[in-house]
Structure 1
Amino acid sequence: MLDVRRMQLLREVITSGSVTAAAANLGYTPSAVSQQVAVLEREAGMVLLERAGRGVRPTAAGRLLSEHAAVIGRQLAEAETALADLRAGRAGRLVIRYFATAGATLMAPALAGFRREHPDVGIDLRVTDPGDPLPEVTRGEADLAIVVAPREVSHGGVRLIHLLDDPYHAVLPRGHRLAGSRVIDLGELADEPWVGSESPGPCLDVLLAGCASAGFTPQVVVESDDYTTAQSFVAAGLGVGLIPRMGLANRHPGVVVRRVRGPEPVRTIQAAIRETSAAHLPLARLLAALQAAAA
Protein backbone atom coordinates (compact mmCIF):
# COMPACT_ATOMS: atom_id res chain seq x y z
CA MET A 1 0.00 0.00 0.00
CA LEU A 2 1.31 3.44 -0.89
CA ASP A 3 2.12 5.76 2.00
CA VAL A 4 0.55 9.22 1.60
CA ARG A 5 3.30 10.99 3.56
CA ARG A 6 5.98 9.51 1.32
CA MET A 7 3.96 10.59 -1.73
CA GLN A 8 3.94 14.16 -0.39
CA LEU A 9 7.70 13.94 0.20
CA LEU A 10 8.20 12.72 -3.38
CA ARG A 11 6.22 15.71 -4.65
CA GLU A 12 8.47 18.05 -2.67
CA VAL A 13 11.56 16.45 -4.22
CA ILE A 14 10.13 16.83 -7.73
CA THR A 15 9.01 20.42 -7.07
CA SER A 16 12.37 21.35 -5.53
CA GLY A 17 14.36 19.62 -8.27
CA SER A 18 16.73 17.77 -5.95
CA VAL A 19 16.85 15.63 -2.85
CA THR A 20 19.11 18.16 -1.14
CA ALA A 21 16.72 21.07 -1.72
CA ALA A 22 13.74 19.05 -0.60
CA ALA A 23 15.56 17.98 2.56
CA ALA A 24 16.38 21.61 3.36
CA ASN A 25 12.75 22.70 2.82
CA LEU A 26 11.40 19.89 5.01
CA GLY A 27 14.06 20.03 7.72
CA TYR A 28 15.30 16.49 7.01
CA THR A 29 18.71 15.15 6.09
CA PRO A 30 19.25 14.24 2.42
CA SER A 31 19.87 10.62 3.40
CA ALA A 32 16.52 10.45 5.24
CA VAL A 33 14.73 11.79 2.16
CA SER A 34 16.53 9.32 -0.12
CA GLN A 35 15.58 6.43 2.19
CA GLN A 36 11.90 7.41 2.15
CA VAL A 37 11.89 7.70 -1.64
CA ALA A 38 13.52 4.27 -1.87
CA VAL A 39 10.80 2.80 0.38
CA LEU A 40 8.10 4.42 -1.81
CA GLU A 41 9.71 2.93 -4.92
CA ARG A 42 9.52 -0.51 -3.34
CA GLU A 43 5.86 0.09 -2.48
CA ALA A 44 5.14 1.22 -6.05
CA GLY A 45 7.30 -1.48 -7.64
CA MET A 46 8.72 1.11 -10.07
CA VAL A 47 11.51 3.67 -10.29
CA LEU A 48 10.15 7.13 -9.45
CA LEU A 49 13.19 9.42 -9.91
CA GLU A 50 16.16 9.53 -12.26
CA ARG A 51 19.27 11.67 -12.19
CA ALA A 52 19.34 14.88 -14.25
CA GLY A 53 22.62 16.75 -13.88
CA ARG A 54 23.02 17.69 -10.21
CA GLY A 55 19.38 17.09 -9.49
CA VAL A 56 16.62 14.58 -10.25
CA ARG A 57 13.59 14.40 -12.46
CA PRO A 58 10.52 12.20 -12.19
CA THR A 59 9.86 9.14 -14.25
CA ALA A 60 6.36 8.64 -15.64
CA ALA A 61 5.46 6.76 -12.44
CA GLY A 62 6.96 9.57 -10.35
CA ARG A 63 4.89 12.22 -12.15
CA LEU A 64 1.74 10.12 -11.68
CA LEU A 65 2.25 9.77 -7.93
CA SER A 66 3.20 13.44 -7.63
CA GLU A 67 -0.06 14.49 -9.31
CA HIS A 68 -2.09 12.26 -6.99
CA ALA A 69 -0.16 13.64 -4.01
CA ALA A 70 -1.25 17.15 -5.06
CA VAL A 71 -4.90 16.07 -5.19
CA ILE A 72 -4.64 14.40 -1.80
CA GLY A 73 -3.01 17.51 -0.36
CA ARG A 74 -5.88 19.71 -1.56
CA GLN A 75 -8.45 17.27 -0.20
CA LEU A 76 -6.75 17.18 3.19
CA ALA A 77 -6.70 20.98 3.32
CA GLU A 78 -10.41 21.09 2.43
CA ALA A 79 -11.16 18.48 5.09
CA GLU A 80 -9.28 20.50 7.73
CA THR A 81 -11.20 23.64 6.76
CA ALA A 82 -14.54 21.81 6.83
CA LEU A 83 -13.70 20.28 10.20
CA ALA A 84 -12.79 23.69 11.60
CA ASP A 85 -16.10 25.10 10.35
CA LEU A 86 -17.97 22.19 11.92
CA ARG A 87 -16.10 22.60 15.21
CA ALA A 88 -16.90 26.32 15.26
CA GLY A 89 -20.57 25.74 14.42
CA ARG A 90 -20.34 27.38 10.99
CA ALA A 91 -21.37 24.28 9.02
CA GLY A 92 -22.70 20.75 9.33
CA ARG A 93 -26.12 19.14 9.54
CA LEU A 94 -28.40 18.34 12.46
CA VAL A 95 -31.01 15.57 12.31
CA ILE A 96 -33.91 16.43 14.63
CA ARG A 97 -37.02 14.47 15.52
CA TYR A 98 -40.00 15.81 17.48
CA PHE A 99 -43.66 15.13 18.20
CA ALA A 100 -46.37 17.41 16.82
CA THR A 101 -47.35 19.50 19.86
CA ALA A 102 -43.68 20.24 20.61
CA GLY A 103 -43.37 21.84 17.18
CA ALA A 104 -45.15 25.15 17.73
CA THR A 105 -44.30 25.51 21.43
CA LEU A 106 -40.64 24.47 21.43
CA MET A 107 -39.14 23.65 18.06
CA ALA A 108 -40.34 26.61 15.99
CA PRO A 109 -39.12 29.40 18.32
CA ALA A 110 -35.87 27.54 19.06
CA LEU A 111 -35.08 27.05 15.37
CA ALA A 112 -35.94 30.65 14.54
CA GLY A 113 -33.16 31.91 16.80
CA PHE A 114 -30.78 29.12 15.85
CA ARG A 115 -31.19 29.88 12.12
CA ARG A 116 -30.19 33.50 12.64
CA GLU A 117 -26.97 32.49 14.39
CA HIS A 118 -26.13 29.42 12.25
CA PRO A 119 -27.51 29.98 8.73
CA ASP A 120 -25.09 27.46 7.18
CA VAL A 121 -26.00 24.52 9.43
CA GLY A 122 -28.41 22.19 7.62
CA ILE A 123 -31.51 20.98 9.48
CA ASP A 124 -33.24 17.65 8.83
CA LEU A 125 -36.47 18.14 10.80
CA ARG A 126 -39.19 15.51 10.92
CA VAL A 127 -42.24 14.83 13.08
CA THR A 128 -42.40 11.30 14.51
CA ASP A 129 -45.98 10.95 15.81
CA PRO A 130 -47.01 8.38 16.83
CA GLY A 131 -43.62 6.65 16.86
CA ASP A 132 -40.91 6.95 19.50
CA PRO A 133 -37.84 8.82 18.16
CA LEU A 134 -35.55 7.76 21.01
CA PRO A 135 -34.21 4.65 19.18
CA GLU A 136 -33.07 6.89 16.31
CA VAL A 137 -30.91 8.85 18.76
CA THR A 138 -29.59 5.65 20.30
CA ARG A 139 -28.59 4.29 16.87
CA GLY A 140 -26.96 7.58 15.86
CA GLU A 141 -29.56 8.27 13.13
CA ALA A 142 -30.77 11.46 14.85
CA ASP A 143 -28.77 14.09 16.73
CA LEU A 144 -31.63 15.29 18.93
CA ALA A 145 -35.18 14.20 19.66
CA ILE A 146 -37.96 15.72 21.74
CA VAL A 147 -39.44 12.89 23.78
CA VAL A 148 -41.90 12.21 26.58
CA ALA A 149 -40.04 10.29 29.27
CA PRO A 150 -39.90 10.26 33.08
CA ARG A 151 -36.94 12.13 34.55
CA GLU A 152 -35.61 9.06 36.32
CA VAL A 153 -35.46 6.91 33.18
CA SER A 154 -31.94 6.37 31.79
CA HIS A 155 -30.87 5.03 28.41
CA GLY A 156 -27.40 3.70 27.70
CA GLY A 157 -25.35 6.29 25.82
CA VAL A 158 -28.22 8.81 25.65
CA ARG A 159 -28.53 11.92 27.80
CA LEU A 160 -32.04 13.25 28.64
CA ILE A 161 -32.29 16.99 29.33
CA HIS A 162 -35.48 18.18 31.04
CA LEU A 163 -37.30 20.92 29.12
CA LEU A 164 -40.69 21.25 30.80
CA ASP A 165 -43.56 19.50 32.56
CA ASP A 166 -46.82 19.52 30.62
CA PRO A 167 -49.92 18.90 32.80
CA TYR A 168 -53.11 17.38 31.45
CA HIS A 169 -56.30 19.45 31.73
CA ALA A 170 -59.91 18.31 31.67
CA VAL A 171 -61.77 19.27 28.49
CA LEU A 172 -65.55 19.44 28.94
CA PRO A 173 -68.47 20.43 26.71
CA ARG A 174 -69.97 23.80 27.57
CA GLY A 175 -72.91 23.26 29.88
CA HIS A 176 -71.30 20.22 31.54
CA ARG A 177 -72.21 19.78 35.22
CA LEU A 178 -68.58 20.46 36.24
CA ALA A 179 -67.98 23.39 33.87
CA GLY A 180 -68.42 25.89 36.69
CA SER A 181 -65.64 24.39 38.83
CA ARG A 182 -62.19 25.99 38.76
CA VAL A 183 -60.44 22.71 39.55
CA ILE A 184 -61.87 19.19 39.11
CA ASP A 185 -61.01 16.08 41.07
CA LEU A 186 -60.03 13.54 38.44
CA GLY A 187 -62.20 10.91 40.10
CA GLU A 188 -65.28 13.03 39.35
CA LEU A 189 -64.89 12.03 35.69
CA ALA A 190 -64.85 8.30 36.41
CA ASP A 191 -68.41 7.62 35.21
CA GLU A 192 -68.28 9.90 32.17
CA PRO A 193 -67.95 8.72 28.57
CA TRP A 194 -64.49 9.65 27.33
CA VAL A 195 -63.01 10.97 24.10
CA GLY A 196 -59.58 9.44 23.66
CA SER A 197 -56.86 11.86 22.56
CA GLU A 198 -53.68 9.77 22.69
CA SER A 199 -52.19 6.94 20.66
CA PRO A 200 -50.53 4.06 22.54
CA GLY A 201 -47.23 5.28 23.93
CA PRO A 202 -45.73 7.30 26.79
CA CYS A 203 -48.40 10.05 26.66
CA LEU A 204 -51.25 7.57 26.94
CA ASP A 205 -49.35 5.80 29.71
CA VAL A 206 -49.24 9.05 31.72
CA LEU A 207 -52.97 9.64 31.21
CA LEU A 208 -53.98 6.08 32.16
CA ALA A 209 -51.68 6.05 35.18
CA GLY A 210 -53.34 9.22 36.46
CA CYS A 211 -56.81 7.74 36.06
CA ALA A 212 -55.69 4.53 37.76
CA SER A 213 -54.41 6.56 40.72
CA ALA A 214 -57.88 8.14 40.93
CA GLY A 215 -59.39 4.63 41.03
CA PHE A 216 -60.84 4.14 37.55
CA THR A 217 -60.19 3.27 33.92
CA PRO A 218 -61.68 5.75 31.43
CA GLN A 219 -64.50 4.38 29.30
CA VAL A 220 -63.49 5.61 25.87
CA VAL A 221 -66.37 5.90 23.40
CA VAL A 222 -64.57 7.88 20.68
CA GLU A 223 -60.91 7.50 19.67
CA SER A 224 -58.85 10.35 18.27
CA ASP A 225 -55.09 10.82 18.23
CA ASP A 226 -55.45 14.50 17.27
CA TYR A 227 -56.08 17.09 19.98
CA THR A 228 -58.05 19.46 17.74
CA THR A 229 -60.35 16.68 16.56
CA ALA A 230 -60.75 15.39 20.11
CA GLN A 231 -61.93 18.85 21.22
CA SER A 232 -64.52 18.83 18.42
CA PHE A 233 -65.91 15.51 19.67
CA VAL A 234 -66.07 16.89 23.21
CA ALA A 235 -67.81 20.06 21.98
CA ALA A 236 -70.36 17.83 20.23
CA GLY A 237 -71.23 16.30 23.60
CA LEU A 238 -69.79 12.83 22.92
CA GLY A 239 -67.71 12.76 26.08
CA VAL A 240 -65.00 14.39 28.18
CA GLY A 241 -61.25 14.13 27.83
CA LEU A 242 -57.82 14.98 29.11
CA ILE A 243 -55.50 16.97 26.85
CA PRO A 244 -52.04 18.29 27.77
CA ARG A 245 -51.64 22.05 28.06
CA MET A 246 -49.34 22.16 25.01
CA GLY A 247 -52.13 20.56 22.97
CA LEU A 248 -54.63 23.30 23.82
CA ALA A 249 -53.05 26.17 21.91
CA ASN A 250 -56.00 26.14 19.48
CA ARG A 251 -58.94 25.88 21.82
CA HIS A 252 -62.36 24.93 20.45
CA PRO A 253 -65.03 27.52 21.32
CA GLY A 254 -67.43 24.77 22.30
CA VAL A 255 -65.37 23.43 25.22
CA VAL A 256 -64.24 24.57 28.64
CA VAL A 257 -60.85 23.63 30.04
CA ARG A 258 -60.27 23.03 33.73
CA ARG A 259 -57.29 21.97 35.84
CA VAL A 260 -57.50 18.58 37.52
CA ARG A 261 -56.15 17.22 40.77
CA GLY A 262 -56.08 14.03 42.76
CA PRO A 263 -53.82 13.43 40.82
CA GLU A 264 -52.86 15.86 38.08
CA PRO A 265 -51.34 13.76 35.24
CA VAL A 266 -48.19 15.40 33.91
CA ARG A 267 -46.08 14.36 30.94
CA THR A 268 -42.39 15.21 31.16
CA ILE A 269 -40.90 16.69 27.98
CA GLN A 270 -37.19 16.06 27.50
CA ALA A 271 -34.52 16.49 24.83
CA ALA A 272 -32.55 13.34 24.03
CA ILE A 273 -28.99 13.53 22.69
CA ARG A 274 -26.10 11.06 22.57
CA GLU A 275 -23.52 11.49 25.31
CA THR A 276 -20.77 11.58 22.68
CA SER A 277 -22.45 14.54 20.92
CA ALA A 278 -22.95 16.74 23.97
CA ALA A 279 -19.91 18.93 23.18
CA HIS A 280 -20.86 19.47 19.52
CA LEU A 281 -21.25 23.26 19.35
CA PRO A 282 -24.28 23.60 17.00
CA LEU A 283 -26.13 20.89 18.92
CA ALA A 284 -25.32 22.54 22.25
CA ARG A 285 -26.61 25.87 20.98
CA LEU A 286 -29.81 24.34 19.63
CA LEU A 287 -30.35 22.64 22.98
CA ALA A 288 -29.87 25.99 24.75
CA ALA A 289 -32.45 27.54 22.39
CA LEU A 290 -34.92 24.77 23.24
CA GLN A 291 -34.38 25.31 26.95
CA ALA A 292 -35.01 29.04 26.47
CA ALA A 293 -38.22 28.32 24.54
CA ALA A 294 -39.36 25.92 27.27
CA ALA A 295 -38.67 28.51 29.97
Structure 2
Amino acid sequence: FVRRSKPLKLSPAGLRLLKLAQQVLPQVEALQDEFSGLRAGSTGRMHIAIECHACFEWLFPVLEQFRRHWPDVDVDIRPGLAFDALPALLREEVDLVVSSDPEELPGVEFVELFDYNPVFVASQSHPLAEKPFVEAADFRGETLITYPVERTRLDVFSQLLIPAKVEPAAIRQVELTAVILLLVASNRGVSVLPDWVVREVKYSSDYVTRPLTAQGITRRLYAAVRKDDLGKPFMNELLKLAGQEARKLQQA
Protein backbone atom coordinates (compact mmCIF):
# COMPACT_ATOMS: atom_id res chain seq x y z
CA PHE A 1 0.00 0.00 0.00
CA VAL A 2 0.98 3.64 -0.37
CA ARG A 3 2.11 4.85 3.06
CA ARG A 4 0.04 7.53 4.85
CA SER A 5 -2.73 7.38 2.25
CA LYS A 6 -6.37 7.70 3.32
CA PRO A 7 -8.23 5.73 2.18
CA LEU A 8 -5.58 3.08 1.63
CA LYS A 9 -4.29 2.93 -1.95
CA LEU A 10 -2.38 0.14 -3.60
CA SER A 11 1.16 0.88 -4.61
CA PRO A 12 2.33 0.02 -8.18
CA ALA A 13 3.74 -3.25 -6.84
CA GLY A 14 0.46 -3.96 -5.07
CA LEU A 15 -1.50 -3.26 -8.24
CA ARG A 16 0.65 -5.75 -10.13
CA LEU A 17 0.06 -8.36 -7.43
CA LEU A 18 -3.69 -7.71 -7.55
CA LYS A 19 -3.74 -8.07 -11.33
CA LEU A 20 -1.77 -11.32 -11.08
CA ALA A 21 -4.16 -12.68 -8.44
CA GLN A 22 -7.16 -11.82 -10.63
CA GLN A 23 -5.60 -13.87 -13.43
CA VAL A 24 -4.33 -16.81 -11.40
CA LEU A 25 -7.12 -17.44 -8.89
CA PRO A 26 -9.81 -18.26 -11.51
CA GLN A 27 -7.36 -20.71 -13.11
CA VAL A 28 -6.69 -22.34 -9.74
CA GLU A 29 -10.43 -22.60 -9.07
CA ALA A 30 -11.02 -24.12 -12.52
CA LEU A 31 -8.24 -26.63 -11.90
CA GLN A 32 -9.75 -27.54 -8.53
CA ASP A 33 -13.12 -28.08 -10.22
CA GLU A 34 -11.47 -30.25 -12.87
CA PHE A 35 -9.72 -32.39 -10.25
CA SER A 36 -12.98 -32.72 -8.32
CA GLY A 37 -14.72 -33.84 -11.51
CA LEU A 38 -12.00 -36.38 -12.23
CA ARG A 39 -12.26 -37.79 -8.71
CA ALA A 40 -16.05 -37.97 -9.00
CA GLY A 41 -15.85 -39.56 -12.46
CA SER A 42 -17.91 -36.82 -14.15
CA THR A 43 -15.09 -35.44 -16.31
CA GLY A 44 -12.27 -37.01 -18.27
CA ARG A 45 -11.20 -38.00 -21.76
CA MET A 46 -12.67 -40.53 -24.19
CA HIS A 47 -10.51 -40.81 -27.31
CA ILE A 48 -11.58 -43.74 -29.47
CA ALA A 49 -9.70 -45.62 -32.18
CA ILE A 50 -11.56 -47.86 -34.62
CA GLU A 51 -10.26 -51.04 -36.24
CA CYS A 52 -13.70 -51.72 -37.71
CA HIS A 53 -14.29 -49.48 -40.74
CA ALA A 54 -18.08 -49.92 -40.77
CA CYS A 55 -18.38 -49.06 -37.07
CA PHE A 56 -19.08 -45.42 -37.85
CA GLU A 57 -22.61 -46.53 -38.77
CA TRP A 58 -23.52 -47.22 -35.14
CA LEU A 59 -20.84 -45.33 -33.21
CA PHE A 60 -22.02 -41.79 -34.01
CA PRO A 61 -25.52 -42.31 -32.52
CA VAL A 62 -23.82 -43.76 -29.44
CA LEU A 63 -21.56 -40.73 -29.04
CA GLU A 64 -24.49 -38.35 -29.52
CA GLN A 65 -26.29 -39.95 -26.58
CA PHE A 66 -23.08 -40.09 -24.57
CA ARG A 67 -22.40 -36.38 -25.14
CA ARG A 68 -25.79 -35.45 -23.69
CA HIS A 69 -25.20 -37.55 -20.56
CA TRP A 70 -21.53 -36.60 -20.06
CA PRO A 71 -21.00 -33.07 -21.46
CA ASP A 72 -17.73 -32.56 -19.54
CA VAL A 73 -15.98 -35.60 -21.05
CA ASP A 74 -13.68 -34.77 -23.98
CA VAL A 75 -14.69 -37.11 -26.84
CA ASP A 76 -12.66 -37.66 -30.00
CA ILE A 77 -12.39 -40.35 -32.72
CA ARG A 78 -9.02 -41.29 -34.16
CA PRO A 79 -9.64 -43.27 -37.38
CA GLY A 80 -6.10 -42.52 -38.54
CA LEU A 81 -4.76 -44.71 -35.73
CA ALA A 82 -6.70 -47.74 -36.93
CA PHE A 83 -3.72 -49.98 -37.73
CA ASP A 84 -1.71 -49.03 -34.61
CA ALA A 85 -4.71 -48.70 -32.33
CA LEU A 86 -3.77 -51.21 -29.63
CA PRO A 87 -0.20 -49.90 -29.17
CA ALA A 88 -1.74 -46.41 -28.94
CA LEU A 89 -4.04 -47.70 -26.19
CA LEU A 90 -1.05 -49.01 -24.24
CA ARG A 91 0.70 -45.64 -24.66
CA GLU A 92 -2.45 -43.91 -23.34
CA GLU A 93 -2.85 -41.96 -26.59
CA VAL A 94 -6.39 -43.34 -26.91
CA ASP A 95 -8.77 -44.68 -24.28
CA LEU A 96 -10.86 -47.24 -26.16
CA VAL A 97 -10.32 -49.35 -29.27
CA VAL A 98 -13.20 -50.97 -31.18
CA SER A 99 -11.95 -54.30 -32.53
CA SER A 100 -13.13 -57.75 -33.59
CA ASP A 101 -9.75 -59.36 -32.87
CA PRO A 102 -9.04 -59.69 -29.13
CA GLU A 103 -5.46 -60.16 -28.01
CA GLU A 104 -3.66 -60.89 -24.75
CA LEU A 105 -2.23 -57.54 -23.71
CA PRO A 106 -0.97 -56.58 -20.24
CA GLY A 107 -3.33 -54.21 -18.47
CA VAL A 108 -5.95 -54.34 -21.24
CA GLU A 109 -9.45 -55.84 -21.06
CA PHE A 110 -11.46 -56.75 -24.18
CA VAL A 111 -15.08 -56.07 -23.21
CA GLU A 112 -17.73 -57.83 -25.31
CA LEU A 113 -20.05 -55.37 -27.06
CA PHE A 114 -22.28 -57.47 -29.35
CA ASP A 115 -22.37 -60.25 -31.93
CA TYR A 116 -23.03 -59.57 -35.60
CA ASN A 117 -23.30 -61.43 -38.90
CA PRO A 118 -21.31 -60.50 -42.02
CA VAL A 119 -23.90 -60.51 -44.83
CA PHE A 120 -23.52 -60.95 -48.60
CA VAL A 121 -25.07 -58.07 -50.58
CA ALA A 122 -25.79 -58.11 -54.32
CA SER A 123 -28.08 -56.55 -56.88
CA GLN A 124 -31.54 -58.06 -57.19
CA SER A 125 -30.67 -59.06 -60.76
CA HIS A 126 -27.39 -60.76 -59.84
CA PRO A 127 -27.24 -64.53 -60.58
CA LEU A 128 -26.28 -65.29 -56.97
CA ALA A 129 -29.57 -63.75 -55.85
CA GLU A 130 -31.17 -67.10 -56.68
CA LYS A 131 -29.15 -68.89 -53.99
CA PRO A 132 -30.34 -69.18 -50.36
CA PHE A 133 -26.76 -68.60 -49.17
CA VAL A 134 -23.34 -68.01 -50.72
CA GLU A 135 -20.12 -69.95 -50.28
CA ALA A 136 -16.47 -69.15 -50.86
CA ALA A 137 -16.44 -70.64 -54.36
CA ASP A 138 -19.22 -68.23 -55.43
CA PHE A 139 -16.77 -65.31 -55.23
CA ARG A 140 -14.35 -66.70 -57.84
CA GLY A 141 -15.91 -64.89 -60.78
CA GLU A 142 -16.98 -61.77 -58.90
CA THR A 143 -15.75 -58.23 -58.35
CA LEU A 144 -15.68 -57.88 -54.57
CA ILE A 145 -16.24 -54.33 -53.29
CA THR A 146 -14.61 -53.73 -49.90
CA TYR A 147 -13.47 -51.00 -47.58
CA PRO A 148 -9.84 -49.90 -48.13
CA VAL A 149 -8.28 -51.95 -45.32
CA GLU A 150 -6.00 -54.98 -45.09
CA ARG A 151 -7.56 -58.28 -46.14
CA THR A 152 -7.01 -59.79 -42.73
CA ARG A 153 -9.27 -57.10 -41.25
CA LEU A 154 -12.16 -57.93 -43.58
CA ASP A 155 -14.53 -60.67 -42.40
CA VAL A 156 -15.13 -61.98 -45.91
CA PHE A 157 -11.43 -62.76 -46.25
CA SER A 158 -10.48 -63.78 -42.71
CA GLN A 159 -13.55 -65.96 -42.11
CA LEU A 160 -14.35 -67.29 -45.60
CA LEU A 161 -12.04 -66.72 -48.56
CA ILE A 162 -8.59 -67.12 -46.98
CA PRO A 163 -9.44 -70.43 -45.23
CA ALA A 164 -10.96 -71.72 -48.50
CA LYS A 165 -8.01 -70.38 -50.55
CA VAL A 166 -10.39 -68.59 -52.92
CA GLU A 167 -9.52 -65.39 -54.78
CA PRO A 168 -12.21 -63.10 -56.26
CA ALA A 169 -11.92 -62.13 -59.93
CA ALA A 170 -11.27 -58.52 -58.86
CA ILE A 171 -11.28 -56.32 -55.78
CA ARG A 172 -12.52 -52.75 -55.75
CA GLN A 173 -11.87 -50.65 -52.66
CA VAL A 174 -14.33 -47.93 -51.69
CA GLU A 175 -14.23 -45.64 -48.66
CA LEU A 176 -17.93 -44.94 -48.10
CA THR A 177 -20.70 -47.43 -47.33
CA ALA A 178 -23.22 -45.45 -49.39
CA VAL A 179 -20.97 -45.69 -52.47
CA ILE A 180 -20.47 -49.43 -51.94
CA LEU A 181 -24.24 -49.92 -51.91
CA LEU A 182 -24.65 -47.70 -54.99
CA LEU A 183 -22.14 -49.80 -56.93
CA VAL A 184 -23.77 -53.03 -55.78
CA ALA A 185 -27.22 -51.79 -56.85
CA SER A 186 -25.71 -50.94 -60.27
CA ASN A 187 -24.42 -54.53 -60.52
CA ARG A 188 -20.79 -53.37 -60.57
CA GLY A 189 -19.86 -55.98 -58.00
CA VAL A 190 -20.89 -57.68 -54.77
CA SER A 191 -19.99 -56.94 -51.17
CA VAL A 192 -20.03 -58.35 -47.65
CA LEU A 193 -21.10 -55.96 -44.90
CA PRO A 194 -22.05 -56.25 -41.21
CA ASP A 195 -25.74 -56.81 -40.55
CA TRP A 196 -26.17 -53.41 -38.87
CA VAL A 197 -25.08 -51.72 -42.13
CA VAL A 198 -27.56 -53.56 -44.37
CA ARG A 199 -30.60 -53.02 -42.14
CA GLU A 200 -32.15 -50.62 -44.69
CA VAL A 201 -31.32 -52.47 -47.91
CA LYS A 202 -33.04 -55.60 -46.59
CA TYR A 203 -36.33 -53.94 -47.49
CA SER A 204 -35.21 -52.46 -50.83
CA SER A 205 -36.12 -54.13 -54.12
CA ASP A 206 -32.70 -53.13 -55.52
CA TYR A 207 -30.76 -55.54 -53.30
CA VAL A 208 -30.65 -59.06 -51.96
CA THR A 209 -28.86 -60.10 -48.79
CA ARG A 210 -27.75 -63.65 -48.11
CA PRO A 211 -25.90 -65.39 -45.27
CA LEU A 212 -22.33 -66.55 -45.77
CA THR A 213 -22.49 -70.39 -45.82
CA ALA A 214 -25.51 -72.46 -44.88
CA GLN A 215 -24.87 -71.96 -41.16
CA GLY A 216 -24.01 -68.28 -41.43
CA ILE A 217 -20.96 -66.63 -39.87
CA THR A 218 -21.11 -64.88 -36.50
CA ARG A 219 -18.50 -62.43 -35.30
CA ARG A 220 -18.12 -60.54 -32.03
CA LEU A 221 -17.12 -56.93 -31.56
CA TYR A 222 -15.11 -55.82 -28.54
CA ALA A 223 -14.05 -52.64 -26.82
CA ALA A 224 -10.42 -52.80 -25.73
CA VAL A 225 -9.99 -50.70 -22.59
CA ARG A 226 -7.22 -50.25 -20.06
CA LYS A 227 -8.22 -52.15 -16.91
CA ASP A 228 -7.53 -49.08 -14.77
CA ASP A 229 -10.26 -47.20 -16.67
CA LEU A 230 -13.01 -49.80 -16.28
CA GLY A 231 -14.13 -48.30 -12.98
CA LYS A 232 -14.87 -44.89 -14.48
CA PRO A 233 -18.64 -44.23 -14.60
CA PHE A 234 -18.53 -42.60 -18.04
CA MET A 235 -16.58 -45.56 -19.48
CA ASN A 236 -19.21 -47.99 -18.22
CA GLU A 237 -21.96 -45.80 -19.66
CA LEU A 238 -20.33 -45.71 -23.10
CA LEU A 239 -19.89 -49.49 -23.17
CA LYS A 240 -23.55 -49.97 -22.25
CA LEU A 241 -24.78 -47.49 -24.88
CA ALA A 242 -22.61 -49.10 -27.57
CA GLY A 243 -24.18 -52.51 -27.11
CA GLN A 244 -27.71 -51.11 -26.91
CA GLU A 245 -27.42 -48.99 -30.06
CA ALA A 246 -25.94 -51.80 -32.15
CA ARG A 247 -28.69 -54.23 -31.16
CA LYS A 248 -31.29 -51.58 -31.96
CA LEU A 249 -29.88 -51.17 -35.48
CA GLN A 250 -29.73 -54.94 -35.99
CA GLN A 251 -33.39 -55.32 -35.05
CA ALA A 252 -34.58 -52.38 -37.19
Fold match, TM over 0.5? yes
Structure 2 counterpart of 1:195: 144
Structure 1 counterpart of 2:56: 103
Moved more, 282-291 or 242-251: 242-251
Q: Which amino acid aligns with 2:161?
A: C
Q: Is the 8 A contact 1:186 1:260 kept in 2?
A: yes
Q: 1 CA distance for matches of 2:84 and 2:206?
A: 32
Q: Is the 8 A contact 2:89 2:226 kept in 1?
A: yes
Matched residues, number: 222
Deviation per residue, 1:248-292 (Å, 9 max, x gap): 256376332112215634443111111122212222222222233
Q: Is the 8 A contact 2:122 2:209 kept in 1?
A: yes
1:204–1:85 CA distance, 2 compared to 1 (3 A): same
1:73–1:193 CA distance, 2 compared to 1 (3 A): closer
1:87–1:110 CA distance, 2 compared to 1 (3 A): farther
Q: 1 CA distance for matches of 2:25 and 2:190?
A: 68
Identity percentage over the alignment? 24
Q: Which amino acid aligns with 1:122?
A: D
After TM superposition, give the deviation of residue 245 of structure 1 in Å.
1.7
RMSD: 3.3
> What's the secondary structure of 1:248's corresponding residue?
coil
Structure 2 counterpart of 1:88: 40
Structure 2 counterpart of 1:274: 226
**Matching of residues 75-154 of structure 1 within 5 Å:** 81-98=33-50, 99-105=52-58, 107-128=59-80, 131-150=83-102, 153-154=103-104
Q: Which runs of 5+ in 2 are unaligned?
A: 1-23, 248-252
Q: Which amino acid aligns with 1:274?
A: R
Q: Is the 8 A contact 1:187 1:214 kept in 2?
A: yes
Structure 2 counterpart of 1:20: none
**Counterpart selection for 1:209 from 159, 164, 179:** 159
TM-score by length of 2: 0.71
1:128–1:254 CA distance, 2 compared to 1 (3 A): farther
Q: Which runs of 5+ in 1 are unaligned?
A: 1-71
Say yes or no: does 1:168 pair with 2:168. Answer: no
Q: 1 CA distance for matches of 2:182 and 2:42?
A: 46
After TM superposition, give the deviation of residue 140 of structure 1 in Å.
0.4
After TM superposition, give the deviation of residue 121 of structure 1 in Å.
2.0
Q: Which amino acid aligns with 1:158?
A: V
1:233–1:108 CA distance, 2 compared to 1 (3 A): closer
After TM superposition, give the deviation of residue 88 of structure 1 in Å.
1.6
Structure 1 counterpart of 2:105: 155
Kindly name which structure, 1 or 2, has the bigger radius of gyration based on alpha carbons: 1
Structure 2 counterpart of 1:287: 239
Q: 2 CA distance for matches of 1:216 and 1:171?
A: 18
TM-score by length of 1: 0.62
Q: Larger RCO: Structure 1 or Structure 2 (Cα < 8 Å, ≥ 6 residues apart)?
A: 2
After TM superposition, give the deviation of residue 235 of structure 1 in Å.
2.7
> What's the secondary structure of 2:197's corresponding residue?
helix
Structure 2 counterpart of 1:42: none
Moved more, 207-216 or 156-165: 207-216
